[in-house]
Amino acid sequence: MADASLFQQVLDFRNRADPYPLFARLRAEPVVPEADGSFVVTRYREIVSLLHDPRMSSDMRNRAERFEEGQDEEHDEVPGLPPTFLRRDPPDHDRLRRLAMRHFGPPHTPGLVSGLEGRLRGIVTSLLDGVVGRDRIDTVDDIAYPFPVAVICELLGVPPEDEPRFRGWVDAVVSSMLITTAEQQRARREAVEALREYLGALVAVRRDTPGTDLLSGFATDDGPDHWADDGELLATAALLLVAGHETTVNLIANGMLTLLRHPTALDRLRSEPDFAIRMVEELLRYEPPIQIVSWRTPLEDVEVAGVPIPAGVPVMLLLASGNRDPAHIDDPDRFDPDRPAIEHLGFGGGIHYCFGAPLARLETQIVLTELARRLERPRLVVDPPPYRPSPVLRGPRHVLVDIDKVLPAAST
């Protein structure tokens, strides 16, 4: 059997805790061909160029015939439903994104995210109050997971008490991204079917009795753009439910782990309120929650850094590698929120730039600041911690922390 390529080693779960040395070796070449005919792009400049190149398609249906087998199972975020706007090209991408954005952000709802700050702080306070009296907490299970789940449920109009139902479905979808077994494919299909039925029932209720949530807005939208069918609406709702908390869970978990490994930054976060802004930007560069974009395909033959890439072949963009490209940023393996400029690929780029970036930033700034302020003398129990399966949405499954106590909110 041939030795595994460097990219295959990145996908290997045994390297999940620290893929960065492999990324550094991959960056010896800006574009790396894989044995199956696909290409891996490793450096910041080339990744940014392709993220903005209209010749690069996000629609899996534009792949060459030899790459079609199993592609829906391996790459689509919600197989069994129509492609979401993440997997569409203009003009369909633009129409679907406008339909979603009309109910989430500017120009139609410009104050939605900023207006959530008080509510976000209240949720974090409640979660931390819930672990008062304990000397060990899991910052993932106790804080990083339930916080963004509560937020996205409230925004979408999904009953929070249903979280145990959809948690398993979401895990089945996320864990099988890019690497799948036959068992994972079966679990993924079953999960998506259940998720589709569940969201479909909620949308039907909102059509009859709409509220102020996103599902109500989607179900009753009478704007200039229109859903082609309920499949498009449900695919968008499923995407927001999954991506609306999965990426933020990893960003918060990666952030707390990074701060515990860098106690000076943790101390500054306690005493300098504005430090959270730059700290989160550096975190998005240093430990991004989305590490790989795996669904780009050239619509025509292109040349990248002198390497010809044929039309129709898969192209993997290694965002996490680009973030640590020494040609882009000095001393890239050092966590340094005081860098004079922090440009990163933590939210991707181009027309597919992360839809929920403003909310994810605000959530992470608030929760990491409150964890720093209220946890007295936090110490990592296990380092490295256990990681979740996905190489695409990478983050620790648990981050166990010993503490002297949880300070009351009033004293912070």
Give the domains, in start order, of the chain with CATH numbers: 6-411 (1.10.630.10)
Cβ–Cβ under 8 Å, residues 82 and 235: yes
Handedness of CA 304, 309, 312, 317 (dihedral sign): negative
Distance CA 144, CA 398 (A): 10
The pLDDT of residue 179: 58
Bridge pairing between strands 400-402 and 379-380:
antiparallel
Residue 4 has a pLDDT of 92
Q: Give pLDDT, residue 70.
A: 47
Q: What ranges make up the beta strands (E) of 99-219? A: 136-138
Q: Give the whole-angstrom CA distance, residue 188 versus residue 176.
A: 7
Both structure tokens of 178? 């890019």
Task: Please provide the size of the chain in residues.
Answer: 412
CA-closest candidate to residue 305, choices 315, 294, 290: 315
What pLDDT was estimated at residue 75?
Answer: 42
**Which amino acid is it at 280?**
V
Phi and psi at 303, nearest 5°, equal: -125, 125
User: How many angstroms separate the first and last alpha carbons of the chain?
Assistant: 58
* Nearby residues of 97 by Cβ (< 8 Å), 6 or more positions away: 85, 351, 355
- The token pair at 367 is 């929760």
* Residue whose C-alpha is closest to residue 19's, from 136, 128, 178: 178
Token pair for residue 279?
A: 């700290």
Q: Are 323 and 44 within 8 A, CB to CB?
A: yes
Question: How many angstroms separate the CA atoms of 148 and 249, rounded?
Answer: 7
Token pair 């068992």 is found at 183
- For residues 116 and 362, the answer to whether their CB atoms sit within 8 Å is yes
Query: Tokens standing for 268?
Result: 């500054």
Q: What is the pLDDT of residue 176?
A: 63
Is the distance from CB of 140 to CB of 253 less than 8 angstroms?
yes
Contact 313, 63 (CB under 8 A): yes
Output the pLDDT for position 74. Answer: 40
Q: How far is CA 350 from the centre of its chain?
A: 16
- Distance from C-alpha of 185 to C-alpha of 173, rounded to nearest angstrom: 9
- In this prediction, the residues of the chain whose per-residue pLDDT falls under 50 are 1, 70-77, 412
C-alpha to C-alpha distance for 297 and 266, rounded to whole angstroms:
41
pLDDT at res. 165: 84
For residues 267 and 277, the answer to whether their CB atoms sit within 8 Å is: no
Of 130, 142, 134, nearest in space to 405 by CA: 134
In contact, 266 and 259? CB cutoff 8 Å: yes
**In sequence order, which ranges of 209-297 are alpha helices (DSSP H)?**
214-220, 230-261, 263-271, 275-286
Q: What pLDDT sits at residue 311?
A: 97
Distance CA 167, CA 38 (A): 33
230-261 vs 146-156: helix axis angle to the nearest 10?
Answer: 150
